[in-house]
Amino acid sequence: MIFLRRQLPLLITLVTGLLFAAQYYVPHPASEQMLTSATKWLQIVGGFALILGVTSLFHQHAVKIRRQEAGWGYSLVLYVGMLGTIAVGLWTNGKESVEGTMTAFGWVYNYMMVPLQGTMFAILAFFIASAAYRSFRAKSREAAVLLVAAVIVMMGRVPLGEYLIPLSGDVSSWILNVLNSSVRRAILIGVSLGAVALSFKIIFGVERSYLGGGKE
């Protein structure tokens, strides 16, 4: 049993990890074919895993409705929305339009899903303003530096700002291309080394907490 729970997954991780790390260096079409097949398998496994996810979602909201927890009405909306979308999707064979005419499924997607997504994305503009307001209050030296840099970059990125302060365009470009880029690259170097080190640990079974089941 311990073999199935611990050793076999670690063995699979080691073999596949080394295989796909080596794949990067092998230009042969067989290597590309192997990667394509593995990607397809991942998609298939992901498709089955979705059943797991949807079951979890239904269970979670069924419990809420049954217990009539706070906000259970939203759970009801979720049930109606999900079952309704599945029903119209099956009815129209998953097609958004037939011979140029929008189906019920297409209507749900275009007139409900897309505007709702757009609304969420649009809220971002207000959240940026509120986050900027809080962080730009020059309460500390760091916040003051952030404020000054932000003002210069904002002025340099809009035509009116550059018209009013001609130097702001060059200074903002310098801030973005020199200071910002160099710091981002430094972060990326650290991230890459961290990711490679973690990958080594996982491939060779040094890091195994992601498997659950503790140490033995």
Partner 1 sequence: MERKPSSRGRTLRSSKGHERREGEGVRSRLRRFSIGFGWFFLQLIVCASNLVPLDTLAQTSISAPHDVRVFDTPSDGGGSLTVQWAPSSWDGPDARYQVLAGDAAVTDPAALTIIAEFPANSKYVKDAKTAWWTRNVDKTWHQVLVRSAKGFEVKDGTSYAVAVATVQGDQRVFSPVLVASPSPDWFNWNQLNNLIIALSFGGLVFYSISYAKRHEIFLRRIPGLDAVDEAIGRATELGKPILYLTGAHDLHDPSTIAAAVILGKVAKRAALYETELLVPHREPITMAVCQEITKQAYLEAGKPDLFKEDANFFITADQFSYTAAVDGIMLRKKPAANFFMGAYFAESLLLTETGASTGAIQIAGTDSDHQLPFFVTTCDYTLIGEELYAASAYLSKEPVQIGTLLGQDIGKVVVLSAIGIGIVLATVGAVTGEQWPQLFLDLFRDLK
List interacting residues with partner 1 (CB under 8 A): 21, 24-30, 32, 42, 45-46, 49-54, 56-57, 59-60, 63, 70-71, 74, 116-117, 120-121, 123-124, 127-128, 130-132, 134-135, 184, 187-191, 193-202, 204, 206-207, 209-214
> Contact at 8 Å (CB) between 149 and 155?
no
> Contact at 8 Å (CB) between 154 and 161?
yes
> Contact at 8 Å (CB) between 171 and 152?
yes
Q: Which of 110, 111, 62, 114 is nearest to 83 (CA)?
A: 62
> Cβ closer to partner 1: 7 or 56?
56
Closest CB 137 distance from partner 1, rounded Å: 11
- In the three-class reduction of DSSP (H, G, I as helix; E, B as strand; rest coil), residue 102 is classed as strand
- In the three-class reduction of DSSP (H, G, I as helix; E, B as strand; rest coil), residue 147 is classed as helix
> Cβ closer to partner 1: 29 or 100?
29
Closest CB 85 distance from partner 1, rounded Å: 12
> Cβ closer to partner 1: 71 or 100?
71
> Cβ closer to partner 1: 54 or 87?
54
> Cβ closer to partner 1: 37 or 56?
56
Closest CB 168 distance from partner 1, rounded Å: 20
> Cβ closer to partner 1: 63 or 98?
63
| DSSP letter string, 170-182 | HHHHHIIIIIIHH
Closest CB 53 distance from partner 1, rounded Å: 3
Between CA 178 and CA 180 the distance in angstroms is 6
Task: Name 15's bridge partners.
Answer: none
Closest CB 101 distance from partner 1, rounded Å: 26
Between CA 19 and CA 41 the distance in angstroms is 16
Between CA 51 and CA 147 the distance in angstroms is 48
Closest CB 117 distance from partner 1, rounded Å: 5
